[in-house]
Amino acid sequence: MSRYDEMKALLEAVQFNLNPKSRGSLRILTALGVVAFVVGLIGGYHQQVWQALLVNTMFFGGIALGGVIFSVIFTITSAQWGRPIKRLAEAMASFIPVSVMLLMLLFFGMDYFFEWVDPQRVIHAKAGWLNAPFFIIRNLFMMGLTVIIIWIYLKAVLRPDVGMAKKLTDYSNAFADRLVKNYTSQKTEEARSAQTAKRLAPVLGLAFAALCTLQAFDWMMSIDQEWFSTMFGVQYAISNLIGAAAALMIISGIVREKFGLEAYITIDRYHDLSKLTFAACAMWTYMVFSQVLVIWYSNLPEETPYLILRMQSVEWGWMFWLILVVLFIVPFFGLMSRTACNSIWFSRWVAVEILVGLWLEKYFLILPSIQENNIDKGILAAGRGLPGLSLNIFDLAITLGFLGTFLLCYIWFLQRVPMVPISDQLFFKKSLDH
């Protein structure tokens, strides 16, 4: 079979069509989250809905950014093994515009997170950084810049695939048509795409690092304005990569089975992805340990209360060890053996466990500081039996709303561009070698 015949057959096989029932279910989840947020605001449960919005924006928005960076890594390294899942990673970028809008919405809830919004309560030495106008300006600038770079990068990598798809099949939709506007020859577009992607990939990697650091510092660390750690941004960036890797483990297995892509998303590719997740979890643990070690032995009165509250208090100490088990112990021993990594079923459940652990991590990093600021905990607690875990119906409903929205955005993207990078020489090289 020639390359063009293989491409045409592949395009016809991976046409993504979501049945109306599944689409309706996801829309119901999204509507549930929106209704819960609105009802919470109207009903006076402002603290609950704003903190749920913050936790989930950090979690799902971080995964979306991590997915784009996986594509960047594959581009910079020219890694063949990642080609079959490259588009699945890029599809996560579809949620980024939503996360940007949600972060802008969070500007209106700043009073419920940050005590420094009140000029009378801000630490004088940090007043130049921790003030609402500068906070909003720098976040809008960094988010806007990153979104622009992501769009230019994605347009470059998607354009040859869409152009090839339109030539081989009856492939047309508004988004795809916009991508291939003023399309020239296939050879020219592929060369231009590769050149643009190679140039933008390092820039996007730096933008990712800067944005993750800024978001970690501004939206999580500044809740406790006395605490500071230079490693916190790195921890947040690594957790985003872990989340994207875990999501890819789940999605790639489903796509492999549903669309018959066993020849492309092979067991070896799944094994590579599992090992990458294993390494990322180990790196996250190292950053957490290093951060704890430095703060603990420096014994500074501005920093140690942050750790004491989360590690030794009755309310939160148990959660610290639970998160450590979920994000290190289970992935370390569960994904250590080749047999486990080659099991799609087992790896998928480890990935689900990792995603739950990452959500708890965001909750753990944000909620104790909010509660220490003497802001209302909320009264609709569903987890009163577990000290510190004051989960309520708004947390659950808004989280499900985020999940539904993320999946709708993800599916929308895959329905409008080829699910596999058909114009990528490295993608077909691997398959033809077999």
Closest CA to 405 of 74, 53, 39, 158: 53
Phi–psi pair at 45, nearest 5 degrees: -95, 55
Q: pLDDT tens-digit profile of 53-82?
A: 999 999 999 999 999 999 999 999 888 888
Distance CA 408, CA 419 (A): 15
Tell me what the mean pLDDT of segment 2-12 comes to: 71
Amino acid 64 reads A
Residue 6 above 90 pLDDT?
Answer: no
For tokens 């689900």, name the residue. 352
Specify whether the CB–CB gap between 291 and 235 falls below 8 A: yes
**Burial of 415 (C-beta count, 10 Å sphere; 0-12/13-18/19+):** middle
> Could you list the residue range(s) of the whole structural domain that residue 236 is in?
3-433
**Residue bearing the bigger pLDDT, 432 or 356:** 356
Beta-carbon contacts of residue 276 (< 8 Å; ≥ 6 apart)? 245
Q: From start to end of 77-218, where are the E strands?
A: none
d(CA 124, CA 116) in angstroms, rounded, equals 10
Q: Which residues lie below 8 Å from residue 415, measured CB to CB, with a gap of 6+?
A: 16, 17, 18, 173
Give the HSE-up count for residue 10: Cα atoms under 13 Å, Cβ half-sphere.
27
**Ramachandran sector of residue 374 (left: φ over 0; alpha: ψ -120 to 50; beta: rest):** left
- Please report, in angstroms and rounded to a whole number, the separation of the first and last CA atoms in the chain: 13
Query: Residues 6 or more apart from 10 whose CB is under 8 A from it?
Result: 264, 420, 422
Q: Which two tokens stand for residue 153?
A: 């990068």
The pTM of this model reads 0.92
Tell me 114's DSSP state.
-
Distance of CA 273 to the CA centre of its chain: 16
pLDDT at 380: 35
Query: 239 vs 60, 286, 327, 425, CA distance in Å?
Result: 11, 12, 10, 31
Mean pLDDT computed over every residue of the chain: 87
Amino acid at 96: I
Q: Which helix H or strand E contains 411, and what residues bound it?
A: helix 393-414
Taking only the tens place, the pLDDT of each residue in 243-267 is 999 999 999 988 888 888 888 888 8
By the 10 Å C-beta count (0-12 exposed, 13-18 middle, 19+ buried), 314 is classed as exposed
- 290-302 pLDDT, tens digit per residue, is 988 888 888 777 7
Mean pLDDT confidence for 110-132: 90
And the tokens for 233? 């941004």
pLDDT in tens, 331-347: 999 888 888 888 888 98
Token pair for 12 = 């016809």
Joined tokens for residue 243: 């989340």
The confidence score (pLDDT) of residue 434 equals 43
H/E/C letters for each residue in 227-270?
CCCCCHHHHHHHHHHHHHHHHHHHHHHHHHHHCCCCCCCCHHHH
H/E stretch holding 376: none
Q: Which residues pair with 371 in a beta bridge?
A: none
Cβ–Cβ < 8 Å for 81, 272: yes
**In 121-180, which residue ranges form alpha helices assigned H by DSSP?**
132-168, 174-179
Confidence of residue 386 (pLDDT cuts 50, 70, 90): very low
Number of domains observed in the structure of the chain:
1
Q: Which tens digits make up the pLDDT trace of 184-205? A: 888 888 888 889 999 999 999 9
